[in-house]
Amino acid sequence: MTDNTASITRAVVEAIEKQAAAARPTECCGLLSGANGLITGLHPLRNMAEQPEISYFAAPEDLFEAMVGIRESGRKLLGIYHSHPKTAAYPSPKDVEMAFYPEAVYFIISFEPRIELRAFRIEDSRIENVAINLIADEGAARRE
Ligand SMILES: [Zn+2]
């Protein structure tokens, strides 16, 4: 637990918002990649959860493909995002249980009571707030 700030481009945030809005009433999910601590790419994943309205479980083949793509492009996995169509932007007990990547920042976007994007680190069942540092874009977000 070192850096409590996550830098992300505005284009990536807008792409998350778009994907999350289109997925309603179900949750959407995906990976975020970049270099030097700046998130510049997003990798949407299909949500295969049994109850996709209240949880997410990334399709394993999507996850595998995204991870290979990130590695081959020389970038790093920096974040994981999903949406909460009906609840606040805070990790659910299940989100905490399923947080397998302590090095990643977990982004959650909520729609109710209002659109809000928040970020957290989740390690050993502890939730820590992460400040989001919005970066003006150099070109469009890469969607892969
Ligand atoms: Zn959640």
**How remote is the CA of residue 89 from the centroid of ligand 1, in Å?**
8
**How remote is the CA of residue 92 from the centroid of ligand 1, in Å?**
5
- SS3 of 10, please? helix
Judging by beta carbons within 10 Å of its beta carbon (0-12, 13-18, 19+), is residue 59 exposed, middle or buried? middle
Domains for the chain: give ranges and CATH numbers.
17-135 (3.40.140.10)
Per-residue model confidence as pLDDT tens digits over 74-131: 999 999 999 999 999 999 999 999 999 989 999 999 999 889 999 999 999 999 999 9
**How remote is the CA of residue 139 from the centroid of ligand 1, in Å?**
30
Please state the pTM of the whole predicted model: 0.92
Helix H or strand E segment including 80: strand 76-84
More reliable by pLDDT, 143 or 7:
7
Instruction: For the chain, give the percent of residues with pLDDT over 70.
Output: 93
**How remote is the CA of residue 95 from the centroid of ligand 1, in Å?**
5
